[in-house]
Amino acid sequence: MTVASNPSPRTQFAETRLVRKKHRSELIAKCFFGVMAAAMVIPLILIVVHVVKQGMPSLSWEFLTTNPRLGGIRGGIWSAIVGTLYIVTISLCVSAPIGVLSAVYLNEYAKENWFTRIVHLAVVNLAGVPSIVHGLFGLGAFVYAAGMGKSILSASLTLSIMTLPVIIASTKEALASVPVSFREACWNVGATRWQTIRRIVLPNSISGILTGVILQVSRTAGETAPVMLTGVATFKAVEGTGLFLYNPFTDQSMALSMHLYYIATQANNAPPSLPYAIATVLLSVVLLVNASAIGLRAYLRSRKKW
């Protein structure tokens, strides 16, 4: 009687042909997606490096803290920075509360019927409307119909209308990510719907809400068409270098996006490095806001209990 010998561990755990085929497929997929990622990231890095390199001759502390002169081709960009801060801040103060409260109603209170379906469709469609169309709407609604004239307030309200659909959509997604069992547990112990939203739903979705709101700041800072039609001037001479350079209700202002467009396309005898320097500052503002949003999201997610 012969006893079959047990296979050695090396033979027993050797890769089969099927396993090797799966590993090759995994490696090919990994390389493919890596190439796709590099195809997106590398051009972006090259563009940023080129812009910063070309703008270095004009970048200085004086450039950041002095006002433009001679139609914008000399001096700094302080008044454009302040104008951008005015427009972005007012726009955010208007759109964020309305967008968040609208999303809370649609996700937590509104019943599923033909009206809510129309509202959802309108929000999705408005998010894809070109910015120039929003600019024309702001020109007709705020500048002429409401009698505000071309002012910082008109430009800010136009941008708030433009960013409102995106804030509503991102807030709805954040609210929907909170498990339904959390709500049911609160209702079972006698909490009202508003108490559940205030104590449970909003705290657990605040990271997604704030991320969506803050990321809209970078989009608002870079828009040109809406503000060009409603309240931003190509050049405006102002005195002083403080934060209170404009009256939001009556004054037009300068803005980084519009100033960059004007210097790059219409200004004569401007230094070749000037538009690149303005673009560098605008990119720095956008990247700083995005980095802040990512850091805030990571911090708030680390405090979640689930």
SS3 sequence of the chain: CCCCCCCCHHHHCCCCHHHHHHHHHHHHHHHHHHHHHHHHHHHHHHHHHHHHHHHHHHCCHHHHHCCEEHHHCEECCHHHHHHHHHHHHHHHHHHHHHHHHHHHHHHHHCCCCHHHHHHHHHHHHHHCCCHHHHHHHHHHHHHHHCCCCCCHHHHHHHHHHHHHHHHHHHHHHHHHCCCHHHHHHHHHCCCCHHHHHHHHHHHHHHHHHHHHHHHHHHHHHHCCHHHHHHCECCCCCCCCCCCCCCCCCCCCECCHHHHHHHHHHCCCCCCCCHHHHHHHHHHHHHHHHHHHHHHHHHHHHHCCCC
- Note the pLDDT tens digit of each residue in 57-104: 988 899 888 888 888 888 889 999 999 989 988 998 999 999 999 999
Closest-CA residue to 227 (of 9, 50, 80): 80
**Spatial separation of the C-alpha atoms in residues 177 and 121, rounded to whole Å:** 20
Distance CA 106, CA 294 (A): 26
The top-scoring range by mean pLDDT among 48-57, 197-206, 214-223 is 48-57
Query: Cα(213)–Cα(34) distance, rounded to whole angstroms?
Result: 30
CATH no., domain 81-257: 1.10.3720.10
The whole-model pTM stands at: 0.83
Confidence band (pLDDT; 50, 70, 90) for 305?
A: low
What's the pLDDT tens digit per position in 110-134? 888 888 888 888 888 888 888 899 9
Q: What is the pLDDT of residues 238-289, one digit of tens each?
A: 887 778 889 889 889 999 999 998 888 888 888 888 999 999 999 888 888 7
Condensed to tens digits (0 to 9), the pLDDT of residues 138-177 reads 999 999 998 898 999 999 999 999 999 889 988 998 898 8
**pLDDT average, residue stretch 202-222:** 82
Token pair of 303 as six digits = 């405090």
